[in-house]
Chains A and B, each alone.
Chain A
Amino acid sequence: MSLPAFAALLERLAFTPGRNAKLALLRQWFATQPDPDRGVGLAALTGELSLSAAKPALVRELAASRTDPVLFDLSYDYVGDLAETVALIWVPRAGVNAPPPSLAEVVEALEATPKSELPALIAGWLDTLDANGRLALIKLVTGGLRVGISARLAKTALAEWAGVEVAAVEEVWHGLTLPYLDLFAWLEKRGPQPDARDLPVFRPLMLAHPLEEADLAALDPAQHRAEWKWDGIRVQLSATGGGRRLWSRGAEDISSGFPEIIAAMEFRAVLDGELLVVREGEVAPFADLQQRLNRKIVSAKMQAAHPVGVRLYDILFDGDEDLRAAPFDERRARLEAWFARTKPARMDLSAQIAFGSVDQLSSIRDGARAAAIEGLMIKRADSPYVAGRVKGMWWKWKRAPLGVDAVLMYAQRGHGKRSSYYSDYTFGLWRPDGAGGQELVPIGKAYSGYTDQELLWLDRWIRNNTTARFGPVREVEKGLVLEVIFDAAQRSGRHKSGVALRFPRIARIRADKPAAEADRLATLEAMIDGVEIP
């Protein structure tokens, strides 16, 4: 019954908005499924399993051979998704009473079956499944399985179920092979921790806490080190005897998107740093780097137009030597020595910023207006490199956000816990309407930053000031000013206003301020970093 169980899990995950609920569903699934199926399922959930044995056209033909064409077209037109239409319209052959396949059987049989026999194999399986099972099977065999959860969430559920730290799962993860029998044996305390040997596996990252006003007082300059916080993406460079990998913060292998970095990793070490677009030593704003993200392959032209480099700030392994238990200052010395010795291409060191007092550090932070600087990182001199966000070790102290006073234009109901609240807000600024007056143009959307009390207040205001409804969206009286803050403003051809905001959130409700006195679009345009997002 394992494919139906997996299908039921996928079905619930697809409709479940809450993280905790998703974790509960996943934990239950790991606890109740047998090997090797749960391993195959885990691979599917984490994106490690990609089958594309069958083309969607094959599935369509299978269904067409059993269905009247007019009825098929009417149904497809109504449902809108081919795989779902086939799953729903499929009438199992009478008299079939074979049990549905297991996940492992499906994967194994797909590998062993010649192409010409695929249609019969898939049709046979479809006959044994119900509608949910058929949908999961079709998505699986056509490689269209989108689970709607991150690999990280699946690993978190696995760790919670087994009662270990998620970092421990991450640590062994990339040395595993399907169907992860040794992993489950270890998690169920039937076997030893799997050994990654000398594979270039992901090592769990050390993370920073946001620095609050209250933390400032406790900050002893003698015991802390400061660096710029660059607005790129966090990466881990892992080069061992077993290969080279570039890992993202979320343990995704992004090597293929950055071949020039992989080529530059002529060493054996595990390093922590920031991936940036750098031109002639100048770090470009994040929007520039964004052009390079989420690409499986990257053209030479793209590499030339958006040249990337890594600014290194920590060393985890020097050769085979694990440095993570050493204090920060010692690792920093090792990093500098390693860098001087190795001189890797496309890499430099994150400079340390000297400071004598918190006040001085504060004015350094306020003085930083370069677009590529998000603020400061502050690290305790004696902190070991530990996985996760350990309080009191590393701090991030973002520079003060930018802000405008905008007018609320539309509100949308949230999901899950917020489904009875209008919690997503679209807001706009004034600009000349070309006829001597002013019009509002939307500049962004935010669904955070407010308190529970403010959410209640906003929800009530919206319900009492609605002028039109479009499904879950309400248009409201243009009468409420919101102070919106954001990390950066960027030019954008995709937005009507021509401006895109980075991390916009609601800072304050300005019920005291008349809408006509909200900011003009020109005010926001003056805050733009100066990079075009096409």
Chain B
Amino acid sequence: MRVTPQGLWCEAGDFFIDPVRAVPHAVITHGHSDHARPDHGAVLGTPETLAIMTQRMGEGRAGRSQQALGYGEGVVRNGVAIRLVPAGHVLGSAQVVLDWQGSRIVISGDYKRRLDPTCTLFEPVECDVFVTEATFALPVFRHPPADVEVGRLLDSVRLFPDRAHLVGVYALGKCQRLIALLRQAGWDRPIWLHGGLLAMCELYARHGIDLGDLRPVPMPAKRGAGGLLAGEIVLAPTGAEATPWVRRLAEPVICAASGWMRVRQRAKSKGVELPLIVSDHADWEELLQTVEEVRAPEVWVTHGRDDALVHAMGLRGVKGRALHLLGRGEEDEALEAPAPSGEAPGAEEMAAPAGAEREMGAGGADA
């Protein structure tokens, strides 16, 4: 296993895991764009991940050939046994378990440990080397229960019935999880979606995840008119609140659902009125818990706050190594970046699903 400019490379098997550039053979952990890139030769992933890639990249760009591998199924390539195990991050997300000559390495991809009605729960696999993410690897990140955060959103909807609540989310994963959490909390009204979110929700529905009554945010009756969807919950890609699209909504309460909302300065700098701490990544306790459960003597950290995690593992007698993988941990940029489609003239039309998905969904990493 080697770190190369393209990403993590399994030398014996001659394939890459989540490479950042096009390669002949790639194993993909999940569909977020900082892990799944277009134009690889052969792509191996879960059926859900392959479907997500095809939808986002278009036919022909999500690998010239695709090989689907369900959770728990195995395949051998050049003597390396490959198995995919649930990572609990988003629909189809998987850890890659590699067995070769009696030793085992597990590449987690991005993961969380909490129950999520829209994807399969993380399974710890004992191994010799565990390759982990570290997005929220500081002891200040301990995510509160997601249902408490959703409760805060619903309280606010009740307190401000004359305003729309606009929640900024990532198109893949966070959007669907938040909808599912709202349904669990008893919110059975229609949930209104920005055009950039519709296609992925339909894909989830095709995979059997029921998200209830979802509707596209309508066009304003007249260009520039506002006042729509008072008392309703609207989801849009992060950044849409800064575009003219938002002006159609009734005095929206700008909310954002992200693990980064834990830190006030970050939430404030985004101009968020109601920060909701809902994350699809493991928090500090869960990272340490996972390292303990997989019982690996050596842990490699792909991206994020590797300094803190490596230090904390050292205190527990686990050898840590920071890989500094390129092209990861771009969550920061994803949050900063204003949505390009809002900026163009005629941006009022951006609710059209195809265009918006292309422009707003594709660049987003997740948090």
Contacts and interface: CB of A to CB of B under 8 A. Distances in A.
Given A15-B268, A67-B139, A463-B343, A131 B159 contact: no
Given A74-B307, A419-B271, A131 B263 contact: no
Nearest to B156: A12
Contact of A89 (B140, B156, B271, B273): B140
B140 A79 contact: yes
Contacts of B263: 78-79, 84, 88
Classify chain A's interface size: 35 or more
Interface string A429-473: 000000000000000000000000000100110011000010110
Interface string A9-23: 000101111100100
A306 to B, nearest CB: 36
B182 to A, nearest CB: 20
Contact of B311 (A8, A70, A130, A469): A70
A67 B138 CA distance: 12
A464 B241 contact: no
A174 interface: no
Nearest to A8: B152
B61 interface: no
B140 A14 contact: no
A88 B243 contact: no
Contacts of B345: 460, 464
Interface string B328-348: 000000001010000101000
Contacts of A70: 308, 311
B262 A88 contact: yes
Interface residues of B, number: 43
A419 B159 contact: no
Contacts of B159: 24-25, 28
B265 A81 contact: yes
B247 interface: yes
Contacts of A255: none
A89 B246 contact: no
A24 B265 contact: no
A413 interface: yes
Contacts of B141: 88
Given A74-B308, A456-B224, A15 B273 contact: yes
A84 B271 contact: no
Interface in B125-152: 138-142, 144, 152
Nearest to B267: A15
A415 interface: yes
A88 B336 CA distance: 23
A25 B269 CA distance: 22
Interface in A1-57: 8, 12, 14-18, 21, 24-25, 28
Given A28-B159, A416-B273, A420-B246, A68 B265 contact: no
A301 interface: no
Contacts of A413: 242, 271
Interface string A65-85: 001101110110011110011
B251 interface: yes
A74 B275 contact: no
Chain A CB within 10 Å — which of B144, B152, B159 has the most?
B159
Contacts of B221: none
B144 A419 contact: no
A190 interface: no
B267 A74 contact: no
B251 A417 contact: yes
Chain B CB within 10 Å — which of A8, A81, A416, A419 has the most?
A419
Contacts of B262: 88, 131
B42 interface: no
Given A78-B140, A420-B241, A16 B273 contact: yes
B291 interface: no
Nearest to A414: B271
A414 to B, nearest CB: 9
B353 interface: no
Contacts of A89: 139-140
Contacts of A12: 156, 274
B98 interface: no
A79 B265 contact: yes
A78 B242 contact: no
A429 B145 CA distance: 54
Contacts of A71: 138-139, 308, 311-312
Chain B CB within 10 Å — which of A28, A89, A415 has the most?
A89
Contacts of B251: 18, 417
Given A71-B138, A417-B251, 20 more contacts: A15-B268, A25-B159, A68-B312, A71-B308, A71-B311, A71-B312, A74-B305, A74-B308, A75-B138, A78-B138, A85-B140, A88-B262, A419-B242, A420-B241, A420-B244, A456-B224, A459-B244, A463-B343, A469-B338, A471-B269
27 contacts: A12-B274, A14-B264, A14-B268, A15-B268, A15-B273, A18-B251, A21-B253, A24-B160, A70-B311, A71-B308, A72-B139, A74-B308, A78-B140, A79-B140, A81-B264, A85-B140, A88-B263, A89-B139, A91-B139, A413-B271, A419-B242, A420-B243, A420-B245, A460-B345, A463-B343, A464-B345, A471-B269
Which 8 pairs, one residue from A and one from B, show the smallest C-beta to C-beta distance? A88-B140, A75-B140, A420-B246, A74-B308, A89-B139, A75-B138, A71-B139, A70-B311
